[in-house]
Structure 1
Amino acid sequence: MQKSDRQHAIVTVAICFLIAVIEGLDIQAAGIAAAGIREYFGLDSSQLGVFFSAGILGLLPGALVGGRFADRIGRKKVLIGSVAIFAVFTLCTVWVNSFNSLLLVRFLAGAGLGAAMPILITLASEAVSLQNRGRAVGLMYCGMPVGAAILSLVASTEFGANWKNIFYLGGLLPIIVIPVMMWLLPESKEFLKTQNPKSATEAAPQAAFKELLNADNLFRTLFIWVSYFFTLMVVYIMLSWLPSLFTELGFSRKEGATAQFYFMLSATVGTVILGMLTDRWKKAYVIVLMYGGILAGLLALNAASSLDQMYLAAALVGAFVIGCQGVLYAFGGIVYPTEVRGTGIGVASAVGRIGAMLGPAIAGALLNAGFGAAGVISAAIPCIVISAVMMLLLTRRMKGV
C-alpha cells in the first residue's frame, strides 16, 4: 500500500471510529436516561417501552435510504447529512415537551444514525484492500462498545445524573465531528471509480435493490439477511436485558451494571481480534470460533453460580456477540461489489434491526410468562445456531474464503 493510500485508510477508519463511538453512546443513552425521562414526562412502563422502540424503529428506514443514496451520490455527502440529522434530533430530545414529540424526535434521530451505519462499514471496507477489510471494519466498529462503556462511566458521575445532559452530550459530539468530516474525510476511491466510466458512452452503474436479488447475489443476500436478523436479535437481547437478567438471577442492580461494563469492555477487544482473524483465517474458521464463543458464553451465564463467574460469562458473551456483529458487517463489505455495497449493507442492516426490535420484546414476554433469565438465555441459543449455519453456507458461495 502506498503512503497516500495508507494515510487515506487511517483517516477514514479513525473518523468512522469516532462516529461509531457516538452510536455506542446513543445505544446506552435511552436506558441510562430512562428513569429521568419517565419522571419528567410522567410515563408508565408501556410508554417507556414505546420510547425505547422509537429510536430502534428509526434505524430501519435510515439504513435502507442511507445505503442506497451512498451508492448513488457518494459515501461522504450522505454520511455528513446522516450525522447532522442525528445530532439535531438528539438535541431536540431535551427540548420537546410532550410524549408524542418525544417519540418523533427519537425516531428521526434513529433514522439519522441508521443511515450512517452502512456508510461507515462501506467507507471502512473501501479504504483498504480486500485482504484487510475485516481488520478495518473491526477497528471501526469497536468504537460502538467504547462509546457505550464511556457513557456508563459518565452516568455514574454528577453530570450524568441529569438525563438531559446525556442527550446534550450525544447531540453536541456529532456537531463537533461534522466539520472534521467535511475537512478531512476522503471520498471512497472505489466509489469514485464507479462514477468515472472508461468511455464516454459507458454509463456509470446505478445501485438498485433488485440487484441484491439477481442471479449472482440472491443466495448471498438471503444467507446474510437471515444471519443479520438472528444475530442482532441476540445482540439486542443482551444489550437491553443483561442488567435485568442479573437481577432475575438474584444479583443487585449495581452488580448488573458492572456486568454490562465488563460486557462492553470485552466487546471492544473481541471486535478488534475477530476482525483481524477474519483477514488471516479461513472465514469458516472465524464463523465457527465466534458462534461457538457465543454459545459458550450463553451456557456459562446459565451455569454460573458466583458473581465472579457471572462477570466472566458476561465478558465472554460481550467479546463474541459484539465481535460477531463486527464480522458480519465486514462480510457485507466483502460479498457485495462496489456498485451495490452501500445498498446491500444498508438493507441487511435494516433486516438485522427488525431482529433487534423483536429480540428485547420476546425476552420481555418470556420473563413475564415466568420463564426467567435461564429461559431467555436458552431461547437465544437456536438463534445463534441458525445464524452460524447461514454464514457457513455463505462462505461456500464465496471463492477463496
Structure 2
Amino acid sequence: MERSDNKHAIITVAICFLIAVIEGLDIQAAGIAAAGIREYFSLDSSQLGVFFSAGILGLLPGALIAGRLADRIGRKTVLIWSVVMFAIFTLCTVWVNSFYSLLTVRFLAGAGLGGAMPILITLASEAVSPANRGRAVGLMYCGMPVGAAILSLIAATEFGANWKNVFYLGGLLPIIVVPLMLWCLPESKEYLLAKNKTEAEKSSAPQGSFKDLFNVQNRLRTILIWISYFFTLMVVYIMLSWLPSLFMELGFTRQNGSTAQFYFMVTATIGTVILGMLTDRWKKAYVIVLMYGGILAGLLALNGASSLNQMYLAAALAGAFVIGCQGVLYAFGSIVYPTEVRGTGVGVASAVGRIGAMLGPAIAGQLLAAGFGAAGVISAAIPCIVISSLCMLLLVSRTKV
C-alpha cells in the first residue's frame, strides 16, 4: 500500500512539475517576444504594455473559477481542460492578425494558465502526507523558474529569434503533456474521500463555496493569506518584468540584464526546493523569517552593488528567495485550508496575488518614469516584503500549522 502511495505521489508531482515548466516558459515568452510582436503588429509602447497586461489579467478569472470547479467536479478534469485551453490560445497568438484579437487570445491563454496553477498546488499537496506538503509543492513549483531559464537560453539561439517560434513552443508542449495527464495522472485521493462522504458528513463540512473561506474557521487565515499573496506577488512580478531594464537603468547592457535574469531563475529553482523542504522540517515561523529576510537581503544587495559581478550575485540572491517565497506561500495555502475548500482557497488567494502581480510592474514603470530610478523601484518593494512577512508570522501564530 505504501509503495502504491509513493508511486501515486511521484507521478502526480512529476506531471505537475512539467506543467509548471510550461508556465515558466509563458512567463518569459511575452517579454522575449515583445520586440518581434511590436514590429509585426506596429505597436507603440502603451499598446505593448496592454499586451503584457492582457495575459496577466486572464489569470484572475482562471484562478477563481477553476479552483472552485476543482473542489466540485475533481482536480484532474479541471486541470486537463485548463491546460488544453492554454495550449489552444497560445498557438492562436501566432495566427491572429490584429491588435485586439492578439489581446483576446492572450487573455484566454492566461485564463487557462491561471486555472491550472491552484490545481497544481492542490494536487501536489494532496498526493503526499501532510508532513511532506511543503516539499511536494516546492518540487512542483520549481518547474516555473526551470521553464523561464530554459526559454532565456532558447531566446539566445536562432530559433528563439523568431517571436512566433516562442509561442509555437509554448502551445505545442502542453498538447504533448495532455495525453500523459489523461493516462497517467491519478485523481487526488483526498478529493475522492471527501466526495464519498455520507450526506450527513457533507452537510456539516464546507463544500467549496466562496463564503466558506470566511467562516469562523477560515476567516483570519483567508485575510492574512490574501494580503501576503498580494504584496509578495507584486514584488515577484516587479523582479520578473523589470530586472533586465533595471540593469540598463544602472548603466549595464541589455545582455547583462538577460544574464542576471538567468542567474535569478537558476537560484530560484534551488531556493524553491530547499525552502519547500524546510517548510516541512522547521517551525513555520523560522521559514518565514528566513525567506523574507533573504528577499530583503537580495533587494538591499541590488541597491548597494557597484560592479557587474556584485549585481549578478545580488540577482542570484534575490532569485533564490523571491521565487522560493512564492512556492512556500502556495504550500501554506494548501496546508491551512481543509480538503473541501482547498482548491477554492488557493484559487482565490492566487487571484488576489495576481492583482498584485498586475499592479507591481505598472507601479515600477511609473516610478521609473517619475525619475526615481532603479534604486527607487527596489526601495519601494521593501515595505511590501515587511507587510507580507508580518501577515505570515501572524498566521502561523494564530493557526495550528
User: What TM-score, normalized to structure 2?
Assistant: 0.98
Quote the Cα distance in structure 2 between the aligned partners of 1:323 and 1:201: 37
**Corresponding residue for residue 340 of structure 1:** 341
Cα deviation code 1:84-104 (max 9, x no counterpart) = 000000000000000000000
Report the Cα offset of residue 257 of structure 1: 0.4
Quote the Cα distance in structure 1 between the aligned partners of 2:358 and 2:198: 44
Correspondence 1:216 to 2:196: no
Report the Cα offset of residue 197 of structure 1: 1.6
Quote the Cα distance in structure 2 between the aligned partners of 1:387 and 1:113: 25
Report the Cα offset of residue 265 of structure 1: 0.3
Quote the Cα distance in structure 2 between the aligned partners of 1:4 and 1:58: 37
**Corresponding residue for residue 120 of structure 2:** 120
- Judged with a 3 Å threshold, the aligned counterparts in structure 2 of structure 1 residues 260 and 175 are, in CA distance, closer, same or farther, namely same
Quote the Cα distance in structure 1 between the aligned partners of 2:272 and 2:391: 20
Decide whether the 8 Å contact of 2:138 with 2:327 is kept in 1. Answer: yes
**Corresponding residue for residue 47 of structure 2:** 47
Cα deviation code 1:342-362 (max 9, x no counterpart) = 000000000000000000000
Correspondence 1:359 to 2:360: yes
Aligned residue runs from structure 1 range 288-367, under 5 A:
288-367=289-368
**Corresponding residue for residue 398 of structure 2:** 397
Correspondence 1:129 to 2:135: no
Determine helix, strand or coil for the equivalent of 2:23: helix
Decide whether the 8 Å contact of 1:194 with 1:205 is kept in 2. Answer: no
Quote the Cα distance in structure 1 between the aligned partners of 2:163 and 2:85: 21
**Corresponding residue for residue 4 of structure 2:** 4
Quote the Cα distance in structure 2 between the aligned partners of 1:125 and 1:199: 26
**Corresponding residue for residue 252 of structure 2:** 251
Decide whether the 8 Å contact of 2:206 with 2:212 is kept in 1. Answer: no
Quote the Cα distance in structure 2 between the aligned partners of 1:89 and 1:125: 28
Quote the Cα distance in structure 1 between the aligned partners of 2:206 and 2:11: 27
Determine helix, strand or coil for the equivalent of 2:43: coil
**Corresponding residue for residue 371 of structure 1:** 372
**Corresponding residue for residue 267 of structure 1:** 268
- Judged with a 3 Å threshold, the aligned counterparts in structure 2 of structure 1 residues 201 and 282 are, in CA distance, closer, same or farther, namely closer
**Corresponding residue for residue 285 of structure 1:** 286
Aligned residue runs from structure 1 range 194-213, under 5 A:
194-198=194-198, 206-213=207-214
Aligned residue runs from structure 1 range 15-54, under 5 A:
15-54=15-54
**Corresponding residue for residue 177 of structure 2:** 177
Quote the Cα distance in structure 2 between the aligned partners of 1:206 and 1:132: 25
- Judged with a 3 Å threshold, the aligned counterparts in structure 2 of structure 1 residues 201 and 248 are, in CA distance, closer, same or farther, namely closer
Cα deviation code 1:100-147 (max 9, x no counterpart) = 000000000000000000000000000000000000000000000000
- Judged with a 3 Å threshold, the aligned counterparts in structure 2 of structure 1 residues 201 and 139 are, in CA distance, closer, same or farther, namely closer
Decide whether the 8 Å contact of 1:148 with 1:264 is kept in 2. Answer: yes
Report the Cα offset of residue 198 of structure 1: 3.9
- Judged with a 3 Å threshold, the aligned counterparts in structure 2 of structure 1 residues 379 and 202 are, in CA distance, closer, same or farther, namely closer
Quote the Cα distance in structure 1 between the aligned partners of 2:391 and 2:253: 38
Letter in 2 for 1:373: A
Quote the Cα distance in structure 1 between the aligned partners of 2:89 and 2:40: 18
Cα deviation code 1:233-286 (max 9, x no counterpart) = 000000000000000011111000000000000000000000000000000000
User: What TM-score, normalized to structure 1?
Assistant: 0.98
Letter in 2 for 1:184: C
Decide whether the 8 Å contact of 2:243 with 2:261 is kept in 1. Answer: yes
Decide whether the 8 Å contact of 1:155 with 1:161 is kept in 2. Answer: yes
Which deviates more from structure 2 when the two are superposed, residues 280-289 or residues 191-200? Answer: 191-200
Seq. identity, %: 83
Determine helix, strand or coil for the equivalent of 1:343: helix
Which aligned runs of 4 or more in structure 1 are off by greater than 6 angstroms? none
Quote the Cα distance in structure 2 between the aligned partners of 1:118 and 1:387: 20
Quote the Cα distance in structure 2 between the aligned partners of 1:267 and 1:397: 29
Letter in 1 for 2:295: I
Decide whether the 8 Å contact of 1:26 with 1:170 is kept in 2. Answer: yes
Quote the Cα distance in structure 1 between the aligned partners of 2:303 and 2:290: 20
Quote the Cα distance in structure 2 between the aligned partners of 1:206 and 1:246: 48
| Structure 2 unmatched runs, 5+ | none
Quote the Cα distance in structure 2 between the aligned partners of 1:56 and 1:265: 23
**Corresponding residue for residue 140 of structure 1:** 140
Quote the Cα distance in structure 2 between the aligned partners of 1:360 and 1:202: 43
**Corresponding residue for residue 167 of structure 1:** 167
Decide whether the 8 Å contact of 2:206 with 2:341 is kept in 1. Answer: no
Quote the Cα distance in structure 2 between the aligned partners of 1:362 and 1:382: 14
Letter in 2 for 1:160: G
Decide whether the 8 Å contact of 1:121 with 1:333 is kept in 2. Answer: yes
Letter in 2 for 1:254: Q
Quote the Cα distance in structure 1 between the aligned partners of 2:279 and 2:41: 46
**Corresponding residue for residue 151 of structure 1:** 151
Cα deviation code 1:48-74 (max 9, x no counterpart) = 000000000000000000100000000
**Corresponding residue for residue 241 of structure 1:** 242
**Corresponding residue for residue 56 of structure 1:** 56
Quote the Cα distance in structure 2 between the aligned partners of 1:349 and 1:30: 20
**Corresponding residue for residue 99 of structure 1:** 99
Report the Cα offset of residue 206 of structure 1: 2.2
Decide whether the 8 Å contact of 1:86 with 1:111 is kept in 2. Answer: yes
Q: How many residues align?
A: 400
